Amino acid sequence: PERGELILEAKDVTRQFGGLVANKEMNLQVHAGEILALIGPNGAGKSTMFNQLSAVDTPTSGEVLFRGASLKGKSSRDVANLGMSRTFQHVKLLPTMTVLENVAIGAHLRGSKGVISSALHLERLEETSLLQEAERQLKRVGLGDYLYEEAGSLALGQQRILEIARALCADPCLLLLDEPAAGLRHKEKQALAELLSKLRSEGMAILLVEHDMDFVMGLVDRIVVMEFGEKIAEGLPEEIQTNPAVLEAYLGG
Ligand code: ADP
Ligand code: MG
C-alpha cells in the first residue's frame, strides 16, 4: 500500500455481551505509515475492540474493513494471509528453544494460537523456507546476534521484540500490538519505540493498545481514547494530553 492509504477502518462497531455493551458505535481508521494508539482505563473495551479489528471476534453490528474488504466471515488466519498481523498477550515463548525456532514456529502459525502443538512440527519446518524468513525478520528487528540463543535467556524487552519479529513474518502491512511496552524498563521501551518508528518509516501501519502514556505520547501519530465502550476523544498526542474528558476518565474514574 501507498503511504497514507487507508488500511483499516471500523465503522459503527458495536459489540454486546448479553446486556453489556463493550464497544458502542466505534469508528476509527488506520493509514499506511501511521501509528495509532487505542487507550483508555481498564474495562473501557480496548481488548474487545482489538478483537473486532483482527477478526478474532465479530461485531454485534457495524463492520470492520481491512484494505477495503469487510472482515465479515473471515477468520484470523484469512486476515493474516491478507497482510494483517497481531501479537497475542498470552502467547508464551518456548523458552528452551532458540530465538530462530521460536520465530519460525510463529511464522508457521500466523493467525492461529496453538504454538505448542506446532512445536512438534519443527522438523518439517526445517525443510521449508520458514527458518530463512525467521532469520530475515530477526535481523530486521535487530536480534540478528541472538538467533541461536535460548529464547528464555533473552531480556523481557528482547522477548517482546522477538514476538514482533514473529508477527512480521510474511511481511504484513498492518501490525496490531497489544500492550507492547507493558513491564518493560525505560531503555527497553526506548528500543521498542525505535523499532516501531523504523517500521513506520518503511510504510507499516501500526495499531497498538497501550496503558503506558509516556511511551504512547512520544511515539504515536494519533490517539483514540475509549471509556465505557465508547470513543470519548481522538487526536494528536498533544491534544489528547490536555483534553478535559480524557483527564477526567483517567483521574476522575
Ligand atoms: P479493556 O481491554 O479496555 O480493559 P475489555 O475489552 O477487556 O476492556 O472489556 C470491556 C468490558 O467487556 C468489560 O466490562 C469486560 O468485563 C467485558 N467483556 C469482555 N469480554 C467479554 C466476554 N467474552 N464476555 C463477557 N463480557 C466481556
Ligand atoms: Mg484489555
Domain termination residue (choose one: 129, 144, 171): 171
Same domain, 183 and 74: yes
Top mutation candidate among 13, 17, 224 for ligand 1, by most atoms within 8 Å of CB: 17
> What are the cell numbers at 5?
492509504
Residue-level pLDDT at 116: 46
Phi-psi region of 209 (alpha: psi -120 to 50; beta: other; left: phi over 0): beta
The CATH number of residue 36's host domain is 3.40.50.300
Predicted confidence (pLDDT) at residue 199 exceeds the cutoff of 60: yes
ipTM: 0.98
Same domain, 204 and 162: no
Of all residues in the chain, the percent with pLDDT exceeding 90 is 74
Atom 26, ligand 1: residue with shortest CA distance: 17
> Among the listed ranges 57-61, 62-66, 92-96, 195-199, which one has the minimum average pLDDT value?
92-96
Atom 7, ligand 1: residue with shortest CA distance: 47
Atom 24, ligand 1: residue with shortest CA distance: 17
Q: pLDDT tens digits, residue range 145-184?
A: 999 999 999 999 999 999 999 999 878 999 999 899 999 9
Same domain, 5 and 66: yes
Number of the ligand 1 atom closest to the C-alpha atom of 50: 6
Residue-level pLDDT at 212: 87
Same domain, 75 and 179: yes
The residues placing their C-beta within 5 Å of ligand 2, an ion, are 47
Same domain, 177 and 152: no
Same domain, 152 and 189: no
HEC states along the chain?
Answer: CCCCCEEEEEEEEEEEECCEEEEEEEEEEEECCCEEEEECCCCCCHHHHHHHHCCCCCCCEEEEEECCEECCCCCHHHHHHHCEEECCCCCCCCCCCEHHHHHHHHHHCCCCCCHHHHHCCHHHHCCCCHHHHHHHHHHHCCCHHHCCCEHHHCCHHHHHHHHHHHHHCCCCCEEEEECCCCCCCHHHHHHHHHHHHHHHHCCCEEEEECCCHHHHHHHCCEEEEEECCEEEEEECHHHHHCCHHHHHHHHHC
Mean per-residue pLDDT over the chain, rounded: 90
Number of the ligand 1 atom closest to the C-alpha atom of 51: 6
C-alpha dihedral over 53, 59, 62, 68, to 10 degrees? Answer: 40
Same domain, 4 and 73: yes
What is the number of structural domains in the chain?
2
Domain range enclosing 233: 1-83+172-253
